[in-house]
Structure 1
Amino acid sequence: MAKDRATIVAGIILVIAGMQVFIIQPGFIAILHSVLRLTDAWAGYVASAEMFGLAASTIFVALLGRRLPWRTAVGVAAAVLAGANLASTLAPSPTAFLLTRAAAGLGAGVLVSVGYSMLGQVRHPDRAFGYGIMALLSYGAAGIYLLPGLRDMIGLTGILFLLAALAVLPVLLLPFLPVGSAASVPDSDDDRHAGDNRFAANMALVAVTLFFLGQGVVWAYLSLIGTAAGIAEQDVASGLALSQVSGILGALGMAWLSGRVPQRALLLGGTVASVVPLLAMMGHPGALRYGLSVIVFNGAANLMTPLLMALAAVAGKGNAAVIQRAAALQMIGLAVGPILSAPLAQYSGFTPVMMLAALLFACVYPITQWRRHRRGTPLA
């Protein structure tokens, strides 16, 4: 039990350091929009570049599997992330800034993948992921709320220096990390699983892909959706900060409800609560409707995140390879999403962006209930 707690704490710190920009992305993109004078499309491309870096490095970790030495990888990744944050302060053009953010993503993805692998290997992965997302969102809530004030006090350069300092934190954990996944996982492989188990793991990975693709489509634009509707910038920031609090409650709820409420009910409720707020934000919502919508949306999204990651971990029978693939697919979805939504936002506004995200979310629950032939059972 004590070993599990230490693994959970270390895994959470790695995930927070790796997701340091993504979790505050709406506020961060709004600052880039105002400070660097980026267009809506360019803001989306910058967000996507960082997520592509994240995706590339999580894919790399998944391909290497047990051959990756975790301590070395975390040390190098932390250095790359910190260096890229510092380099971003010197970027002379939007293109150069985009490239430095892509480099930051490369370092961040390794930290996230190793952190997720650690959380997925403990005795109760659903609770571990729930606590991890709760801690991540606590950082996100504070970050999004403070960003407008930090921009005025220390500017974009100062914010990037703070992010560089956070990126160095995982180096302090190196003596406490396992050498690699082989040191903490049983000797198993996907190929040894029966066909039904492999099918369940694949369906879980499809559900993860669809959900995070939907997240990528809409997440970076949540702040701009509010300001485009004429809502004051600080009201938008306050609504997003409160939505992070609801996200904390959603993740905490996942940790508490695990084993008490059927997963099928949690998946159905989370899917519905992800779709409805996006429909409610269409048109010209006032500050109240916008605030309530993002609060419900983020609460549902952060109940679904640990639920789907744990679903993949359980379907993969604790195999680190399945967890790493889920992490890679999460980042791929988050990276591809802004590329899909950027041209929609530029040429058609934000309503098609929200419609696309709602459609992707709506597909998640049916995928988890897909049975394999007549003998199969749904994931939950």
Structure 2
Amino acid sequence: MKILKAGADYSPDARSSIVAAVLLGIVANISFIIQPGLVGGFVEGLGLGEQQAGELAAAEMFGIAIATIVLSLASLKVNWRASFLFFSAVAIAGNLVSAYMTEFADLVLARLLSGLGHGGLISLSFSAVGLTSKTDRNIGIYLAVLLSYGAVGLLAMPSLMATIGLKGIFISFSLVVLIGIGLVGYLPDQAKNEEEVPEATEPLNIKLLVPALLGYLAYNISQGIVWAYLFLIGVSNGLEEQVVANALFVSQIFGVLGALIAIVVSARVVGRFAPLTIGILGGAVFIALLLLKVDYFIYLIAVCGFNLMWNKVLPFILAAISDFDLRGRVMPFALAIQMFGLAVGPYIASQIVGDGDYRAVELASIFFFVLGYILLIVPIMMRKKQQKLELKKAL
């Protein structure tokens, strides 16, 4: 088959390869990026409680995390295109099964299976972008396109729930994955080989890499804690479902703006410290607004600021982490950590959420924001200093 053929013609920086990776990113993230709407659908459409809805979101995210962890260990050895076909089949099966499950325990298993499939797709599409030479820019493009889909998806969720319901939504997910298979042949078939890496590449600095990855884990836990419940937080403050959906739609536009800022404002120009500090701690500040007496205006500012900071800083964090290893070995592992954090987050939130009270969820998110910043900023800045010294020696 053409899509399984080793692709010497498809370099990571080829335009066709980048476009395919970006479009497949939508296929891969099709449910996660509209997770607040799905969690709201679990409550409103299935009559589940807030804790069960959060556990369903966590089940899918744990499936995603497991798949990305497996691929982080195997990405240098497996054929990426064959893997994409396999995980596409798993994702299709998981979504179709989800459409017909009526018992909570069965639905948990179905969403776990779906997560396994989508996790593989996320890892492969994101890793393909991570191999490009202009990582900051291309991750920004990836996020901008993905968030554009997310904006439309969140806006349409109340209408979709009223017309086709969760069953129709899950079947639609399966159809999109099926269509996406046609793009697989434009992906690189594997990670970079040893001969493709500059001879001067330094070995991994584990003492700096480990705390950076732990910081990235904490940062994503903070995101996962609050992201799953953003829709319900709005509804709990007396806002109508469509009004909340509208606010989340606008927030996704701000997310696109954040990703575009990351495309335009290169870390080579502004450095790492300012974007990381503003992006991470700024996100904590916007979530803190939800601790106030929330009306529509405050909710809109909070969710828009949160999405802006999240998507502005994420390309800078990933580009900084990718600097630890030019072979591309760190990027799949970083993605696994990201997805594990986004799985742990909803689970933590589901265990501490009150009956219509989300204060503990918001406080936990803020705590992990700050912890992630502390763990990230020190090793990243030390690595940057180390690279400058290496450059001086080379000159």
**How does the TM-score come out when normalised to structure 2?**
0.89
Correspondent of 2:320 among 311, 318, 321: 311
1:361 aligns with 369
Amino acid at match of 2:298: R
2:114 aligns with 104
Amino acid at match of 2:303: V
> Does the 8 A contact of 1:52 with 1:335 survive in 2?
yes
1:121 aligns with 131
1:63 aligns with 73
2:25 aligns with 15
| Aligned CA distance change for structure 1 residues 371 and 288 (closer, same or farther; 3 Å) | closer
Q: Which runs of 4+ in 1 moved over 6 A?
A: 372-376
Helix, strand or coil: the match of 1:210? helix
Correspondent of 2:347 among 298, 318, 339: 339
Question: By how many angstroms is 1:187 displaced?
Answer: 5.3
Amino acid at match of 1:146: A
> Does the 8 A contact of 2:217 with 2:372 survive in 1?
no
Work out whether 1:246 is the aligned partner of 2:254.
yes
Helix, strand or coil: the match of 2:75? helix
Work out whether 1:292 is the aligned partner of 2:336.
no
Question: By how many angstroms is 1:90 displaced?
Answer: 0.9
Where in structure 2 are the equivalents of 1:250-289 lying within 5 Å? 250-258=258-266, 259-289=268-298
Correspondent of 2:333 among 308, 325, 328: 325
1:45 aligns with 55
Separation in structure 2 between the aligned mates of residue 195 and residue 348 of structure 1, nearest angstrom = 50
Separation in structure 2 between the aligned mates of residue 254 and residue 347 of structure 1, nearest angstrom = 38
Amino acid at match of 1:280: L
Correspondent of 1:32 among 42, 59, 65: 42
Greater mean alpha carbon deviation, residues 328-337 or residues 156-165: 156-165
Separation in structure 2 between the aligned mates of residue 245 and residue 299 of structure 1, nearest angstrom = 8
Correspondent of 1:133 among 136, 143, 152: 143
CA-atom RMSD in angstroms: 2.5
Helix, strand or coil: the match of 2:196? coil
Question: By how many angstroms is 1:181 displaced?
Answer: 1.5
Question: By how many angstroms is 1:379 displaced?
Answer: 9.3
Q: Deviations over 1:3-56 (max 9, x none)?
A: 432222122122221111110000111011111111000000000000000000
Q: How many residues align?
A: 377
| Aligned CA distance change for structure 1 residues 59 and 351 (closer, same or farther; 3 Å) | same
Greater mean alpha carbon deviation, residues 264-273 or residues 364-373: 364-373
Work out whether 1:202 is the aligned partner of 2:210.
yes
Question: By how many angstroms is 1:352 displaced?
Answer: 1.2
> Does the 8 A contact of 1:211 with 1:361 survive in 2?
yes
Separation in structure 2 between the aligned mates of residue 305 and residue 374 of structure 1, nearest angstrom = 19
> Does the 8 A contact of 2:85 with 2:181 survive in 1?
yes
> Does the 8 A contact of 1:44 with 1:338 survive in 2?
yes
Amino acid at match of 2:163: M
In structure 2, runs of 5+ residues without a counterpart are 1-10, 389-395
> Does the 8 A contact of 1:15 with 1:116 survive in 2?
yes
| Aligned CA distance change for structure 1 residues 8 and 203 (closer, same or farther; 3 Å) | farther
What is the identity percentage for the equivalent residue pairs of Structure 1 and Structure 2? 31
In structure 1, runs of 5+ residues without a counterpart are none
